[in-house]
Amino acid sequence: TLNINQGPYLQYGMIFKNEGHSINTFNNYITSASHKSLVVIVSHVTEIRTRKLIREFMFGIKNNLRPCMEQNGSIYYKFLVKLYQGVNYKILKEFKAEVMEYDDIIEFPNLTDNDDWQRIVLTWIQSLENEISYDYVAIIDSHSVVDLKKLRQILDSSIINTYTLTPEQRFYLVWADDMFIILGRESVDILLNIDYFTMPNRIKALTELFPNRISMAYYYYEVENLTNNSKLFFINDQIGMIVWTNSVKSILIEKTIGVGHVYLEID
């Protein structure tokens, strides 16, 4: 079985809303905590029902009691939620109650549409380095679901589709689709510090074509081959990670790890 640790209510710098528990309160049990996987679910403040379904389907959490009893599990997860101005007061009130009940949400209240959201997510992940250790991080959106048990089995085997990973490739893995991102633990720092993102001669058309940090990194390293020093190992997966087509017949049970674009509860 998968042991789940929803972790303390972490705050990071001035970007995150400063309420809830301080990380120092939890130092006794979180310091040097080791987990197989860090799971980050990107969500909107209004998606309260969606987060509830994800907790139940992916983590087996039906209420706020079970996570409190399972510390130092193999999985550490958090919802990263962007707060928008103009949110209905009733929804905001329900959201605040959810934050207090489950203690598994990180709020980003001060973002604009121009902020590099993927960079902010990766920066938050990087901020955990002194608090927990993990082998892999999975970043998904709130309309995707992943079979975490199957994912862990594949990662433990080091065999992804036709690839057999070396120990170094495991550390620097970038296994991605537009709905799911699985990163080895050493990949985050590299993605945050790629020189190409600060180069003055970046072409605007390329920025529009590759709007996020990971797709740009793929172009930088794999397409243009602008450096021979890359340790990142890219896998673009359209076999294990698929789009929901409103039919279970399209899902190959043995090969499918995650399904994206799931918008209806009945699905």
Distance from C-alpha of 81 to C-alpha of 86, rounded to nearest angstrom = 15
- The residues, ordered by sequence, that sit 6+ positions from 36 with a Cβ below 8 Å of its Cβ are 74, 75, 134, 135, 136, 152, 155
Q: What pLDDT was estimated at residue 16?
A: 41
Cβ-count burial 20-32 (b if 16+ within 10 Å, e if not): beebeebeeebee
Contact 242, 144 (CB under 8 A): no
pLDDT by 10s per residue, the chain, length 267: 444 455 443 333 334 443 333 233 233 344 456 778 899 999 889 999 989 988 988 888 887 765 543 444 688 999 999 877 778 889 999 999 999 999 999 998 777 766 778 889 999 999 998 888 889 999 988 877 788 888 888 889 998 888 899 999 999 999 877 678 889 999 999 888 876 555 555 555 555 666 677 877 887 776 666 555 668 899 876 655 655 555 555 555 555 666 655 555 544
Cβ contacts of residue 150 below 8 Å, gap of 6+? 257
For tokens 């079970």, the residue is 66
Distance from C-alpha of 239 to C-alpha of 208, rounded to nearest angstrom:
26
Q: Select from 59, 50, 61 the least CA-distant residue to 263.
A: 50
The helix-helix angle for 48-59 and 89-102 (nearest 10°) equals 30
The closest of 103, 100, 88, 101 to 45, measured between CA atoms, is: 88
pLDDT at residue number 15: 41
Q: Tell me the one-letter amino acid at 43.
A: S
- Structure confidence at residue 14 (pLDDT): 33
Q: Closest Cα partner for 81 from 142, 148, 127?
A: 142
Contact 159, 60 (CB under 8 A): no
Question: Are 102 and 4 contacting, i.e. CB atoms less than 8 angstroms apart?
Answer: no
pLDDT attached to residue 201: 52
Q: Give the per-residue pLDDT at 2.
A: 45
Q: How far is CA 110 from the centre of its chain?
A: 20
Residue 193 burial (CB count, 10 A):
10
Nearest to 245 by CA among 221, 229, 263, 220: 263
Instruction: Please say whether the beta carbons of 135 and 172 come within 8 A.
Output: no
| Calpha distance 260→29 (Å, rounded) | 34
Q: pTM (2 decimals)?
A: 0.77
Say if CB 15 and CB 110 are below 8 A apart. yes
The vertex-69 CA angle with 104 and 101, nearest 5°, equals 35
Q: Are 12 and 40 in contact (CB under 8 A)?
A: no
Domain definitions of the chain by residue range: 1-142, 143-178+185-267
Please state, in angstroms and rounded to a whole number, the distance separating the CA atoms of residues 68 and 242. 33
